[in-house]
Structure 1
Amino acid sequence: MGGVAVGVGALGRPPGGGEAGGRMKPARWPADRPEEGRLLHVEPRARRYRDTRVADLPSLLRAGDLLVVNDAATLPASLVGRTESGERIELRLLSREPDGTWTGVLFGAGDWRRRTEDRPPPPVLAVGAGLVVGGLKALVVAVLPPSPRLLRVAFDATGAALWSGLYRSGRPVQYAYLEAPLSLWHVQTAYGARPWSVEAPSAGLPLTWSVLLTLRKQGVRLASLTHAAGLSSTGDAALDAALPWPERSDIPAATVEAVLHTRASGGRVVAVGTTVVRALEGRAARHGGWLVAGEEVTDLLLGPGFVPRLVHGLFTGVHEPGSRHHALLQAFAPLPLLQEVAAHAEARGYLGHEFGDSCLLLDA
């Protein structure tokens, strides 16, 4: 257990990117048994914490609680190719737009083995420029602020031909701290459904069906929504300062009913990942405190001073100190406690990033 103390570091991603160095070691590969990963349970009001395992999560929740997951499956959003003049590039998809075009971030030559912030700049492309990525051709239809690397592109294929081309040509987005190329199945949660996310909604990766079924047996309700998790790092200071970008989510009526029922009956709503918090709280903020079903886009930014209306707790990853993600966590716990928790996690060898250990911010 720990009390309040001014420590060093914080849980989160480094400012301006997901690969800058920190003292917390990154997990370099997916775990064979993710439910055996470490889970740091933090009780913000009591200002204490303890070391447990993900497999212990059912003992930390109680009958009548609701666990809400993001069931977005992860796209093969990294597309390597060339400009029409032959320059090597990588296009990382960011989001699919309502008109069928895609927003993406352009990278220069190289691949995931080189840190995003160390990649050479890509060529500057104008509207009308062509790209060949894998077996797909794309046309630049817009260059967007705040960086010439942020593009809107239209692929030459549509429907099944486009999706087939993406899955045939694309790879999962990954970063230089990993030890080998990822397969697409490495970045899927157990319950992934529609392919909306360009990076994995990674908080849910340790939640195996064994853990989820144990939760159900103990009376914890499960609900889902679909939220399009975006990129965590581009290596471009202007783009990274704007993260996270607005993201779309689809909240089913059954999930709205489950959240309202849980709160009315005295249970706790626990979000798996900040994407779930953004989806639920962003929807409520947009509708005067009411949770409304359906598909919308949220630009909600979590951080110090934000008071959740619907969500009581957060199951999330443990990331290296120094941080944008740390600011998100301050919606659930005060800075001094997060600093002490981070120092404890570093000292105990917790692993960070998407395949790393977990943290539960939830009062008993």
Structure 2
Amino acid sequence: MNLSTKDFDFQLPEELIAQTPLENRSSSRMMVLTTETEQIEDKQFEDIIDELHPGDALVMNNTRVLPARLYGTKEETNAHVEVLLLKNTEGDTWETLMKPAKKAKKGTVISFGDGRLKATVVEELEHGGRMVEFSYEGIFLETLESLGEMPLPPYIKERLENQERYQTVYAKENGSAAAPTAGLHFTEEILDKIKAKGIKLVFLTLHVGLGTFRPVSVENIDEHKMHAEFYQLSEEAAEELNETRKSGGRIIAVGTTSIRTLETIGKANEGVLKATSGWTDIFISPGYKFSVVDAFLTNFHLPKSTLIMLVSAFAGREFVLKAYNHAVEEKYRFFSFGDAMFVKKKEYKED
């Protein structure tokens, strides 16, 4: 299927890009898409409980976002440097992006928080990338929590007052450069109601890299290469999901990160889920055959992004673009702090 990047474009008024989270996580709106009938419904996020049925499994990414943006000064010149942590390669060595990068040569030492944390450039990479080695007293993550800021996407211009609003309520495993934003709508109260209805809550981990947000720079989408991201699925989670499938329940993914993890593992094992960890660079676009996911929750994504391509692979490109145009007309809020979309194959019928 030869599709080009512009086949996933749509007009988005800038004022629909949500700049701040809503006061109450679950007061977002939710558009429900039924692919079989191409039905579009406008609902509230709380209605998600009606979309989930006893015996289903709701799969959530429990990654926790690192406060990965640091502002420091070069020891030699006192010049200001912004450092964004991308990936912990080993020990205290990290792959980072720096601004301005040109003057951050190998051997440069950058100091943060009056020297409480220092980074020495050990290798120069392309596109402003630098490998650095950190030195500090005590525990690295505690130092980072006190000095770093949340690495909000570039389309969010407002400062985030409460950093926890860019974490899901079930965030646990440190390591992401961005939040798995579909999960931001859940509250403990809604999760309790979901469990009480007989739906399993299953957790996996995928540490989101900034490559998720990178625009697709090639015209033919088949030539696009995804950045690899680390994932992990436990024995217990794999067993619960296989059991759900056997007993006729649906596997419902929260967010594109959960979808990519489940499909990576399922694709390698003919639809069966196994406890495993590794790096995935799976790129899901129209023509892809899903082997695990039956329905999913997601937010509204950037035009021409890999994320809208993934949604289109499941629901059909024309239907998805129709839904996005409806979202613009109805003034849904877009992107990380925006509203939600629930996508399913067909209407549920009671036996």
* TM-score using structure 2 length: 0.86
Identify the range of structure 1 (84-93 vs 69-78) with the bigger mean alpha-carbon deviation: 84-93
Amino acid at match of 2:204: L
Mapping of residues 190-339 of structure 1, within 5 Å: 190-231=169-210, 232-233=212-213, 244-287=226-269, 289-339=271-321
CA distance in 2, matches of 1:233, 1:254: 31
How much does 1:270 deviate?
0.7
Number of the residue aligned with 1:53:
44
Contact 2:106/2:124, CA 8 A, preserved across alignment: yes
Identify the range of structure 1 (91-100 vs 297-306) with the bigger mean alpha-carbon deviation: 91-100
CA distance in 1, matches of 2:224, 2:131: 17
Contact 1:34/1:208, CA 8 A, preserved across alignment: yes
Amino acid at match of 2:120: L
Number of the residue aligned with 1:87:
79
Amino acid at match of 1:277: I
Distance 1:9-1:284 versus aligned 2 partners, 3 A rule:
closer
Q: What is the number of residues matched between the two proteins?
A: 332
2:207 equivalent to 1:189: no
Amino acid at match of 2:96: G
- Alignment RMSD, CA only? 2.7
Amino acid at match of 1:330: S
Number of the residue aligned with 2:341:
359
CA distance in 2, matches of 1:22, 1:308: 32
Distance 1:305-1:236 versus aligned 2 partners, 3 A rule:
closer
1:301-336 C-alpha deviation (Å, 9 max, x unpaired): 121222221111110111343433211212211110
**Higher relative contact order at CA 8 Å, sep ≥6: structure 1 or structure 2?**
1
Distance 1:324-1:26 versus aligned 2 partners, 3 A rule:
same
CA distance in 2, matches of 1:54, 1:9: 29
How much does 1:194 deviate?
1.8
1:71-92 C-alpha deviation (Å, 9 max, x unpaired): 1111111111123433322111
Contact 1:24/1:352, CA 8 A, preserved across alignment: no
Mapping of residues 27-38 of structure 1, within 5 Å: 27-38=18-29
Distance 1:82-1:67 versus aligned 2 partners, 3 A rule:
same
* Structure 1: 4+ residue segments shifted above 6 A: 234-238
Name structure 2 gaps, 5 residues minimum: 1-5
CA distance in 1, matches of 2:21, 2:272: 38
1:135-162 C-alpha deviation (Å, 9 max, x unpaired): 3111222333xx341222211137x432
CA distance in 1, matches of 2:84, 2:301: 22
Number of the residue aligned with 2:97:
105
SS at 2:313 equivalent: coil
Contact 2:216/2:304, CA 8 A, preserved across alignment: no
CA distance in 2, matches of 1:225, 1:205: 16
CA distance in 2, matches of 1:236, 1:9: 12
SS at 1:315 equivalent: strand
From 119, 139, 145, give the equivalent of 1:138. Answer: 119
CA distance in 2, matches of 1:283, 1:76: 29
SS at 1:205 equivalent: helix
How much does 1:259 deviate?
1.1
* TM-score using structure 1 length: 0.83
Distance 1:148-1:28 versus aligned 2 partners, 3 A rule:
closer
CA distance in 2, matches of 1:333, 1:265: 25
CA distance in 2, matches of 1:234, 1:86: 31
CA distance in 1, matches of 2:216, 2:261: 26
Contact 1:124/1:148, CA 8 A, preserved across alignment: no
Number of the residue aligned with 1:3:
none
Amino acid at match of 1:58: I
Number of the residue aligned with 1:165:
143
SS at 1:189 equivalent: coil
Distance 1:183-1:234 versus aligned 2 partners, 3 A rule:
farther
Name structure 1 gaps, 5 residues minimum: 1-7, 15-20, 109-121
CA distance in 2, matches of 1:327, 1:235: 12
Distance 1:179-1:282 versus aligned 2 partners, 3 A rule:
same
Contact 2:83/2:97, CA 8 A, preserved across alignment: yes
1:109-146 C-alpha deviation (Å, 9 max, x unpaired): xxxxxxxxxxxxx32533333222343111222333xx
Amino acid at match of 1:281: E
Distance 1:226-1:256 versus aligned 2 partners, 3 A rule:
same
1:207-266 C-alpha deviation (Å, 9 max, x unpaired): 11121111111111110011101225579979xx97752111121111101111111111
